[in-house]
Chain A
Amino acid sequence: MISEMLVKLWNNGLIQLGIWETVYMTALSTAFAYLLGLPLGVVLCVTDKDGIRPTPLVNRVLGFVVNFFRSIPCIILMVAMIPVARLILGKSLGNGAVVVTLVIAAAPYVARMVEASIKEVGAGVIEAAQSMGCTNGQIVFRVLLPEAKPSLIHGSVISTVTILGYTALAATLGGTGLGQIAIIYGHQRSNDDIIWLCVFLIVIIVQLIQVLGTWIARRTDKRIS
C-alpha cells in the first residue's frame, strides 16, 4: 500500500528535492573533506618514520588529532561541532552547518584513506626518484600522488559513500535530504513505505557512485590495461 503522504510528497517534488539535497551535500562535503584530508594524509605519509622526511613529532601530533576525531561517533561529533559551524557560518542549523560538521567528521577519515593509498607506492620507486635527485616536493607531486591515483580514486569512492551515510544523520542538525524525509515523514509519522523508498533511493545513489568511481579508477590505472 502506498500511503497518501508519499503521494503528496512526490507530487510536491519533496522527494526529488531530497535526492538532490542528499547528492549535493555529499558532493560538497566530500570535496571539502578532501581539501583538508588529502594534504593531511600526505603529511602523515611524508613525516612517517619510513617516510621521505621522517618527523616524529609532527607525525605523532597529527596522528593523535586524526585518531581523536575518528574515535568519536559521528553523530556526537556532529552535535559537538555545532558551535564550530556557528563560528564559521554564523548559524548553527541548516545544510550549511551540516556540511561544516560533515567535513570535520570526514576529513580525518579521508586523511587515513589517503595515507593508506600513498603507502601502497613501493619504496623502490621512491628510492629510484631519490637517486635521480628529486626533491621531496617532486616526490610527492610527481611520484607519490600520480602513482597512487587509482588507489586514491578507489578510496574516494569509499569516502563518498561513508559521507553519504553521514548526511542521513544530518537531520539531527536540521539538515534536509533523504535522511530527513525518512525520519520526519517516514519514521515519526509511521509511513513505512517512505522509509523504504528513501532506503531504496540511497542504495541507488551509492551504487551509481560505486560503479562510476570504479570505472574511472580502472580507466586511469595503467597497471591493468
Chain B
Amino acid sequence: MIELKHLSKTYRSAAGDVEALKDINLTINDGEIFGVIGLSGAGKSTLVRCINLLEVPTDGEVIIDGRQLTSLPKRELLELRRSIGMIFQSFNLLEQRSVIDNIAFPLEIAGVAKAEARKRAKELLEVVGLSQRENAYPAQLSGGQKQRVAIARALATEPKYLLCDEATSALDPNTTASILELLESINRTMGVTIIIITHEMKVIEQICDRVAVIDRSRIAEEGTVKEVFTNPKSEIARELILPQDRVALDVEGKNRMLRLIFNGDYSEKPIISELAMQCQAPVNILFADTKQFDGTIFGHMIIELPADRDLQNKITAWLTDNGVSWKEEN
C-alpha cells in the first residue's frame, strides 16, 4: 500500500517559489490500477516522482508498506526503489545497450549474476512479446517496442509497484491501446500495483480502477473511475470528461444548427430516432462525438434542422421537454 499524507512540494528559485504539490492525500491499494489525470503543469509528474523520492517532498509523508520513505537512510532507499519499477514518456532506454542488456541492467545493478540476469531478461522479453528482438538496439525499435522493453526492464527486479509517467503519451492510439493491454495483463497476472499518470482520458477509461483528478497542484477529486465519470463533482473533472464546446467548430450546414449536449443526465432512449419519429422531421447529423460509459451517454452532437420554421420550433420544444440540453450552433 502506498500512502501519501499531506504531501507538498515547492520548487524554490530566485524567480520565486513554485508550489507543484499542495497537501496531497492519497492511498493506493495493493493490486489496483490507479490513475492520476490532470492537465499539463498540474503537478502530476512531480507527484509520481515523490512516490519513489526522485523528487523529495518539501512537506508531508510518503509511506510504502508502512515504511516512511523520507526518513529512510540512503542505502535503504536505493534498495526500496528496486521494488518500485518506473516507465517514462520518453522510454529512457540505454541507447548503447542491446534490448536484452537493457532489461538485465537493473539486475546487474542489484548484483545478480550475469547469466541469471540474462535468463530472467529473456523471460521478460517473452512477457512483453519481443523475444525476436533481444539483440536489437533501442535505435532500431519503434516507440511501442521501446516502451515494451522499458516495461520489461521495470519488471526485472520483480517490483510490487509500477509507476507509469505519461507512458503512452508519445505513442499512437493503436500502440497506446496495446501497451495498456500489456499493463493490464501485468496487473492481473503478476499482481503488480500500477500507478498511471496521464493527461489522456482514454487511458483512465481503458484500464484504471480508481482515479484522482489533479488540478493546480491539488487533488480535485478522487474515486472509482465509474464514480468520477458518471458523476464528476469538480470543475476540472467535468472539463476533462464532459463535452467541450471548443471542439468541432468548423461544421457547416445550410439551415439552423443545434448542438446537443449529453452530460450523462440523459440515457437509454435512442433520442435522434425518437426525435425524428415524434416530430415527423428529418434531422441531419453533422457531427457527433459521444461515448457510452456504464449505460450513460456523454458527448455532443451537432444536428441540422429542416428549413421549415414550425418544424424547427417543434424540434426544439421536444428536446427541451425531453431534458436534452441544446444550444444554437450558427
Contacts and interface: CB of A to CB of B under 8 A. Distances in A.
Contact of A124 (B88, B105, B137): B88
A119 interface: no
Interface stretch (B77-85, B224-232, B235-243): B77-85
B109 to A, nearest CB: 5
B312 interface: no
Nearest to A220: B96
Interface string B77-102: 11111101110101011111110000
Contact of B81 (A131, A147, A220, A222): A131
A130 B94 contact: no
A146 B94 contact: yes
Interface string A185-205: 000000000000000000000
B54 A132 contact: no
A122 interface: yes
Contact of A127 (B77, B92, B137, B138): B92
B88 A128 contact: yes
Contact of B95 (A134, A135, A223): A223
A112 B16 CA distance: 32
A128 B92 contact: yes
Interface string B94-137: 11111000000110111000000000000000000000000001
Nearest to A125: B92
Contacts of A131: 52, 54, 81, 84-86, 163
Contact of B78 (A127, A133, A150): A133
B90 A124 contact: yes
Contacts of B96: 146-147, 149-150, 220-223
B147 interface: no
A71 interface: no
A143 B95 CA distance: 10
A129 B85 CA distance: 11
Interface string A210-225: 0000000000111111
Interface in B40-89: 52, 54, 77-82, 84-86, 88
A146 B88 contact: no
A127 B54 contact: yes
Contacts of B18: none
B90 A223 contact: no
B303 to A, nearest CB: 47
Given A138-B109, A142-B108, A225-B137, A132 B92 contact: no
B139 A222 contact: yes
Interface residues of A, number: 25
Contact of A142 (B92, B109, B137, B150): B109
Contacts of B110: 133
Nearest to B95: A223
A222 B136 CA distance: 9
Contacts of A127: 54, 88, 92
B94 A133 contact: no
A142 B86 CA distance: 19
A132 B157 contact: yes
Contacts of A130: 54, 81
A132 B137 contact: no
B218 to A, nearest CB: 25
Contacts of A138: 109
Contacts of A220: 96
A147 B138 CA distance: 12
Given A132-B105, A132-B109, A133-B79, A223 B92 contact: no
A128 B139 contact: no
Interface in A118-169: 122, 124-125, 127-135, 138, 142-143, 146-147, 149-150
Nearest to B80: A133
A138 B85 CA distance: 18
Interface in B155-181: 157, 163
B82 A132 contact: yes
B18 to A, nearest CB: 17
Contacts of A143: 94
Contacts of B92: 122, 124-125, 127-128
A135 B94 contact: no
B94 A134 contact: no
A133 B94 CA distance: 15
Most buried by A among B92, B98, B139, B157: B92
A143 to B, nearest CB: 7
Nearest to A148: B96
5 contacts: A125-B92, A132-B106, A132-B157, A135-B78, A222-B95
Q: Which are the 10 A-B pairs with shortest beta-carbon distances?
A: A133-B81, A128-B92, A131-B86, A124-B92, A133-B78, A222-B137, A132-B106, A223-B139, A133-B82, A222-B96
Interface of A: 122, 124-125, 127-135, 138, 142-143, 146-147, 149-150, 220-225
